[in-house]
């Protein structure tokens, strides 16, 4: 079992480096959340862990937070949209309409 854990961690890290190299850290973070779900589901399926409704809602909260933080889902509340990459770019374009860099 220890060897399996070492191999799975090595594979996860190698995959994570490749994802970050070719995609983005936001996508790696989202995939990391999926890994948490996969481990939890497998643990329940093989009987190492019992179903826990609190863990399920905590995972939903984790996944939602990851999606909002990585701007995959934009919450339609102004305070949450104020510092998205799109809003920051719009403010910068407004402050510097001619495109000059200082």
Model confidence band, residue 53 (pLDDT cutoffs 50, 70, 90): very high
On the CB side of 19, CA atoms within 13 Å amount to: 14
Three-class DSSP category at 97: coil
Burial classification of residue 28, based on how many CB atoms lie within 10 Å of its CB (0-12 exposed, 13-18 middle, 19 or more buried): middle
What is the pLDDT at residue 102? 54
Say which residue, 3 or 68, is predicted with more confidence.
3
Average pLDDT of the residues in 77-91:
82
Domain ranges of the chain: 2-49
Which pair of tokens denotes residue 75? 């919450």
What is the pLDDT at residue 3? 94
pLDDT in tens, 18-38: 888 888 777 787 778 888 888
7 pLDDT exceeds 90? yes
Average pLDDT of the residues in 53-66:
89
């Amino acid at each position: 079992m220890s060897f399996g854990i070492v191999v799975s961690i090595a594979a996860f890290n190698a995959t994570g480096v490749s994802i970050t190299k070719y995609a983005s850290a936001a996508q790696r973070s989202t995939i990391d959340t999926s890994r948490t779900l996969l481990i939890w589901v497998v643990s329940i399926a093989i009987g190492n862990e019992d179903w826990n409704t609190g863990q399920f809602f905590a995972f939903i909260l984790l996944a939602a937070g990851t999606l909002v933080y990585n701007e995959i889902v934009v919450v339609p509340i102004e305070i949450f949209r104020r510092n998205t990459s799109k809003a920051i770019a719009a403010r910068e374009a407004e402050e510097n309409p001619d495109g000059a860099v200082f």
